[in-house]
Amino acid sequence: MPKIVGIDLGTTNSLVAIVEDGTPRVLPGRDGSMLVPSVIYFDEGGTTFVGNPAKEKMVERPRNTVFSIKRFMGKGTEDVREDLPLLPFEVAPESEHIIRLNIFGRDYTPPELSAFILRELKRNAETALGEEIKNAVITVPAYFNDAQRQATKDAGRIAGLDVLRIVNEPTAASLAYGLDKRKQGTIAVYDFGGGTFDISILKLKDGIFEVLSTSGDTHLGGDDIDEILMRLVLNDLSQRPDIHQLQAIRKAVNKAKEELSAADRADITVQELQYRRSLTREEFNKLIDPIIERTLRPCRQALQDAVLNPANIDEVVMVGGSTRIPLVRLRVQELFGRVPHTELNPDEVVALGAAVQADILAGSRRDMLLLDVTPLSLGIETMGGVMSKIIPRNSTIPASATEMFTTFIDGQTNVKIHVLQGERELVKDCRSLAQFDLKDIPPMPAGLPRIEVKFLIDADGILSVSAQEQRTNKHQSIEVKPTYGLTDEQVEQMILESFEYAEADISARLVIEARNEAETVLNATAKGIADEQYANLSEEEKAEIAAASARLREVMRTNDHEVIRQSIERLSNATLHLAELIMNAAISKALKDKRVREIQ
Amino acid sequence: MDYFEVFGLPRQLGIDTLALEKTFHELSRKYHPDYFTTASPSEKTQAVRMTALLNDAYRTLRHPVRRVEYLLSLYGFKPDSSKVPQALLMEVFEINERLEEVKGGTASVEEADSLRALIKEKRKRFDAELQQASLEWDELVKSGQPEAKLNEQLARLTEILSESSYIRNLERDLGG
């Protein structure tokens, strides 16, 4: 079985991990860091940079440095209208059902952008493990709906990964948590990250991790806290900042937020605006209390759905960077009446758990099994715009439901089915998932066809539908139109386009390598010119070295690695004689020293 | 395969939920798609289908009301809230009027408490009725009674469930 990695594709940071000899570990990136910031920078030449190098560009190049893309997965513009004014991105006009960001005249969907991050993680894993990686388990917030899960799977496909399983983040964390402790009992996982919030309640028994209930908010996280602080700064300013300044403010408030987890007071300093203000922990707590309250409501809901009281919870596990905030810990402690576990690294535990799930799929562990649930009820539209639930939320997945459909008009050959997710009574208050067209129904009098439609939610929490006409036993063809997602054809097209990036990525690496070599050669040349042997060169030779150096300095800023290579070659040739002279001098000096020693 | 067959159980309503959970975990370990990653596509599909059936069965059978609904559906019986005695409708109508006053804030605290107690009492009576009728069903099945007898009992269970929807609505209105 080829290796399967576990990937935590986070709003703020992403990680890749693997289990070796029964122990999960995070695989470091090329720069040695475990966390890859989920940031993508596009330069003018069409090269992309992911992670720390991209994060450095957020203030300088706001338009073409994409961050927090996870918040856009499976969404249309209407869903993120409130966030857009504080974001420096250019949203393309046709973003009603899938947000498209325009970067240098080209539109990118969130799955394509996420694929850049996944490709980077794939490469990091390949470098660390010394083999090609094709299979992965990717985590998503437990409260992600069908479209958001599908978008994550699409991102994996575009990045060249076979996504063997989509796992819920809090559940993955519980796997890492319960791994070597052989835990039994009921645990609550409170997962408050950069962009999303989840609560999951699980029962651990004899290696079975059974999720009893889950709830959350896929648009609630550290980013929202940053936005509150940004608005605080904006209120102080006399005029609206430009997007560079906006990003500088984001960076400054983020820093202050992190400092306030340890200190009682922090400064928000924005050099670009000559701005500085102080913020006490007390003021901060007051500002963020409504946000924390929004995480407690789903907690109560999850308890109620699991038919449990806080007293029934044996342990509370904290996951996600935002659980470092002292007030978050305090509120969780108050709700559950016990001190939550904070000894796990909240940034790494989800990736480690994903690696454990990958290990289970690889067949290495039969002692552990994860039984997860679907976070939202699945339903179909019935007469009068009412949502009729067919699979209730918190059903263990895979789950299925069978419904009978018929025709209303004589000879009708098509039936439309509208599938939704949500808890509300009316269709308009639920999330539209897809429209299914049952086609080629044998023409019969109205009401006579009996079409059995089977809805199946698989272990990834993703829906599939199949249909059969009962009288003719004919399998019905179904055409699926996802409401907030890409069609299969669109994903295929993106996979094709992604090969261009694979090439662009290779060429980017060649450019970087050529630049590094150019620098080495230029440094060596500078040393050579400083050497006394330089005086022994002819004037033509000196002029050629000067010209070749100047040329190399000029072309090494371009993205054409071949031209850089040619210039390196030219400078190397020009300095050949100088190098020879220096070498000879060194040898004769060494010989002389030797003779001196021999005589002595 | 029906849900009772999935768990190897007779079509009876008294179910030991602890034993049910144990079997659920055992069967999950046998069929779960996590253990079929390297299997052929058809085996994978089979694993997903089998596990979905197992999960559907567990979700239904562990819940005392859903369990009865499912049993009734196997015999073609369906609870219908429009077919309930006139007396019940009158009673519910009356309770609803009092509920409106409580929600509107015109009723006293004592009135609200007494209404809450009344609805709780109704729930208790319903639960007891359902349990009794379920026990009777199991006795009839075990003693091998003729179909007519069984159908009579199924009709009785259907009637109880039809009425139960009113209590559920009252509870919801009171809670909301």
**Residue A70's CATH number:** 3.30.420.40
Q: pLDDT for B146-163, tens place per residue?
A: 888 999 999 999 988 888
A459 and A494 part of one domain: no
Q: Is residue A28 domain-resident?
A: yes
Q: Is residue A343 domain-resident?
A: yes
> Is A168's pLDDT higher than 60?
yes
Domain boundary among A371, A396, A430: A371
Amino acid at A122: K
DSSP A192: E
Q: Is residue A254 domain-resident?
A: no
In this complex, do A395 and B37 lie within 8 Å of one another by their Cβ atoms?
Answer: no
Spatial distance between the Cα atoms of A399 and B26, rounded to a whole number of angstroms: 18
Is residue A144 classed as helix, strand or coil in its secondary structure? coil
Q: Which residues of B touch A204 (CB under 8 A)?
A: none
- Find residue A8's DSSP bridge partners: A15, A139
Spatial distance between the Cα atoms of A40 and A38, rounded to a whole number of angstroms: 7
**Among B25, B37, B51, whose Cβ lies nearest the Cβ of A398?**
B51
Q: Which residues of B touch A361 (CB under 8 A)?
A: 34, 37
Q: Is residue A88 domain-resident?
A: yes
Spatial distance between the Cα atoms of A185 and A177, rounded to a whole number of angstroms: 13
Count the domains in chain A: 3
A209 and A126 part of one domain: yes
In this complex, do B29 and A400 lie within 8 Å of one another by their Cβ atoms?
Answer: no
In this complex, do A363 and B35 lie within 8 Å of one another by their Cβ atoms?
Answer: yes
Q: What is the 3-state secondary structure (H, E, C) of B111-130?
A: HHHHHHHHHHHHHHHHHHHH
What's A551's domain CATH number? 1.20.1270.10
**Among A369, A399, A401, whose Cβ lies nearest the Cβ of B28?**
A369
A107 and A197 part of one domain: yes
Contacts of residue A6, defined as CB under 8 A and 6 or more positions apart, other chains included, come to A16, A17, A18, A19, A24, A136, A137, A139, A172, A351, A352, A353, A354, A355, A356, A357, A358
The stretch A70-82 carries a mean pLDDT of 90
User: For residue B80, what pLDDT is reported?
Assistant: 80
A494 and A545 part of one domain: yes
* Cα angle value A308/A314/A318 (rounded, 5°): 100
Q: Is A366 on the interface with B (CB under 8 A)?
A: yes
Query: For chain A, how big is the Rg over CA atoms in Å?
Result: 30
A116 and A84 part of one domain: yes
The stretch A215-222 carries a mean pLDDT of 92
In this complex, do A398 and B25 lie within 8 Å of one another by their Cβ atoms?
Answer: no
Domain boundary among A440, A455, A484: A484
Find how far residue A330's CA is from the centre of its chain: 29
A317 and A445 part of one domain: no
> Is B114's pLDDT higher than 90?
no
Weakest mean pLDDT among A139-153, A452-466, A472-486, B24-38: A472-486
A127 and A38 part of one domain: yes
Alpha-carbon distances, residue A449 vs A41, A409, A531 (angstroms): 55, 11, 94
ipTM over 0.85: yes
A68 and A174 part of one domain: yes
B110, B98 in Cβ contact below 8 A? Answer: no
Q: Locate all alpha helices (DSSP H) within A468-575, ordered by sequence.
A: 488-530, 539-555, 561-574
B61, B7 in Cβ contact below 8 A? Answer: yes
A17 and A129 part of one domain: yes
| φ/ψ (deg, to 5) at A185 | 120, -175
| Strand bridging mode A36-37 / A65-67 | unpaired
A330 and A439 part of one domain: no
**Among B29, B35, B59, whose Cβ lies nearest the Cβ of A395?**
B59
Amino acid at A529: I
What's A400's domain CATH number? 2.60.34.10
Strand blocks (E) in A51-149? 65-67, 101-103, 106-108, 135-140
Domain boundary among A371, A395, A417: A371
Calculate the CA dihedral of residues A351, A357, A360, A364 and round it to 10 degrees: 0
A124, A86 in Cβ contact below 8 A? Answer: no
Q: pLDDT for A81-114, tens place per residue?
A: 888 888 888 998 888 889 999 998 889 999 999 9
Amino acid at A16: V
- A131: which 2 tokens? 């083999």
Nearest Cα of chain A lies from the Cα of B32 at a distance, in angstroms, of: 8
Amino acid at B150: L
Nearest Cα of chain B lies from the Cα of A337 at a distance, in angstroms, of: 25
Q: Which residues of A touch B49 (CB under 8 A)?
A: 398, 400, 456
**Among B28, B38, B51, whose Cβ lies nearest the Cβ of A363?**
B38
Q: Is A363 on the interface with B (CB under 8 A)?
A: yes
A587 phi-psi bin (left φ>0, alpha ψ -120 to 50, beta other): alpha
Q: Is residue A239 domain-resident?
A: no
Q: Is residue A231 domain-resident?
A: no
Nearest residue of A to residue B33 by CA position? Answer: A459
A568, A548 in Cβ contact below 8 A? Answer: no
A26 and A66 part of one domain: yes
Weakest mean pLDDT among A148-162, A345-359, A458-472: A458-472
Number of CB pairs < 8 Å for A and B? 59
Nearest Cα of chain A lies from the Cα of B100 at a distance, in angstroms, of: 21
Q: Is residue A260 domain-resident?
A: no
- Window 370-409 of A: residues touching B by CB (8 A cutoff) are 370-371, 395-401
Q: Which contiguous run of DSSP H or E holds residue A23?
A: strand A23-26
Q: Is residue A230 domain-resident?
A: no
**Among B35, B48, B59, whose Cβ lies nearest the Cβ of A458?**
B48
> Is B176's pLDDT higher than 60?
no
Residues B77, B83, B88, B94: is their CA dihedral positive or negative? positive
- B57: which 2 tokens? 């069965």
Q: Which structural domain range is residue A389 located in?
A: 378-484
Query: A406, exposed or middle or buried, with CB in 10 Å at 0-12, 13-18, 19+?
Result: middle
A526 and A576 part of one domain: yes
| Residues of A belonging to the active site | 8, 70, 169, 191
Q: pLDDT for A25-63, tens place per residue?
A: 999 988 888 999 999 999 887 789 999 999 989 888 998
Nearest Cα of chain B lies from the Cα of A291 at a distance, in angstroms, of: 24
